[in-house]
Amino acid sequence: MGEIMPVRAAALSTSAGRPGKVRALLASGLVLGVGAAFTLAAWTDNEWVFGGAGPNDTPGTKTYAMEQNTLAPFAEESWTHKPNPNGGGLDFTVSAASMLPGDTVYAPFQLRAKAGSETLTAKLTDALQATDPAIGNANSTALYNALVYRAWTGLDAANCSAGGDKSAGTVLVGPNKPLSQTSNVPLTLPAGDAGKAGAPVNLCFAMTLPAGIDDTSLQGKNVVPLWKFTSSVGL
């Protein structure tokens, strides 16, 4: 190796007339000549890591979802998830189809956190008249505007009735509110244990045709009111 270096240096220095550049090329050749670069490549080792959330887990999101049961006595198979209008139908009893001024009809239902969900805080965030079916006798805007309602949480199906004890309930919507009234009262829907659904929360809606109404144009009409409960996280 020592004998080759002067020969290569002399040849390169006389051919280009640029000694600085020649020396740089020669130095580069010497580094390769001793095998340093190849030795480094032979000993290269790689270690890959991935983002984790613990010893046996990866980053992800928790589940936040609720479901409803509108069919008393609230059998397990009656639970359903209805995220879009018109949703599950509240049972305001048979007399709701033939109300007279002064009549009040009641509908019990339940909400709960779905199996695998975290604890939820839900609110009654929307209340409106359905647009399907079309406006008309089957969904009268005049009747929608005439009806009023109130709502409680914490009332079971037995007490969600004309003769039921309402004292144990928490007011969700006060008396004589229009059907478009929403509520800021939070509902806590607890998470279940070991992947099971959470304990249900009882709710009760009471809808009234006020006694003072004598508008005969409301006779023979029906209405489709809608209410939406929303649970939000991460906001």
Residues 6+ apart with CB under 8 A from 148: 175, 176, 177, 178, 179, 207, 208, 210
Q: What percent of the chain has pLDDT over 70?
A: 69
- pLDDT tens readout for residues 185-234: 999 999 999 889 999 999 999 999 999 887 888 888 888 888 999 987 65
Kindly compute the dihedral angle of the four CA atoms of residues 160, 162, 166, 172, in this order, to the nearest 10 degrees.
60
User: Sign of torsion, CA 139 145 147 148?
Assistant: positive
What per-residue confidence (pLDDT) applies to 217? 84
Are the C-beta atoms of 30 and 5 separated by less than 8 Å?
yes
C-alpha gyration radius of the chain: 37
Residues 6+ apart with CB under 8 A from 98: none
- pLDDT tens readout for residues 48-93: 666 665 566 667 667 788 999 988 888 998 988 888 888 888 888 7
What per-residue confidence (pLDDT) applies to 47? 61
Task: Look at residue 133 and tell me whether its pLDDT is greater than 90.
Answer: no
Exposure of 59 in the CB half-sphere (CA atoms within 13 A): 3
In the chain, the amino acid numbered 94 is V
